[in-house]
């Protein structure tokens, strides 16, 4: 079974500073990895996904993530935080075959300090 771990439920970052959200996964088969963002009273929106092509994945709103198999990690970064980045972020993993479900982490609530 796949799982992901996101540490630190709340993350505070100053406007203009680096955003770094950590995600470590566990999977017995090659994984697909995703980052989703959830704004208040809205559904989850896909930021980016890794599906075994390039290990550095660029997403929307200036976010990117790097797949590191040796570290079983898929950390999300953005060079400069904006006030509009305040939201909850979820890392998720699924399997390359035989499994069509997403396993989500507990999420990181990002607060941007002006």
Out of 23, 81, 103, 112, the residue judged to bind other proteins by CB under 8 A: 103
Out of 70, 83, 100, 114, the residue judged to bind other proteins by CB under 8 A: 100
**For 79, how many CA atoms within 13 A lie in the half-sphere containing its CB?**
2
Closest approach, Cβ 80 to other proteins, in A, equals: 27
Under the binding rule (CB under 8 A), the answer on residue 98 touching other proteins is yes
Cα–Cα distance for residue pair 102/91, rounded to 1 Å: 10
Under the binding rule (CB under 8 A), the answer on residue 95 touching other proteins is yes
> Helix, strand or coil for residue 40?
coil
The angle at the Cα of 58, spanning 53 to 61, to the nearest 5 degrees, equals: 155
Under the binding rule (CB under 8 A), the answer on residue 31 touching other proteins is yes
Under the binding rule (CB under 8 A), the answer on residue 13 touching other proteins is no
């Amino acid at each position: 079974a796949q799982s992901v771990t996101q540490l630190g439920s709340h993350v505070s970052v100053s406007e203009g500073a680096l955003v770094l959200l950590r995600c470590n996964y566990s999977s017995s088969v090659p994984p697909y990895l995703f980052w989703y963002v959830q704004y208040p009273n809205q559904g989850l929106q896909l930021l980016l996904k890794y599906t075994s092509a390039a290990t550095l994945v660029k997403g929307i709103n200036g976010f990117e993530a790097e797949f590191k198999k040796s570290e079983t990690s898929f950390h999300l970064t953005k060079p400069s935080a904006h006030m509009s980045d305040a939201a909850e972020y979820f890392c998720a993993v699924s399997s390359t075959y035989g499994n069509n479900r997403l396993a989500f982490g507990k999420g990181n609530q990002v607060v941007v300090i002006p």
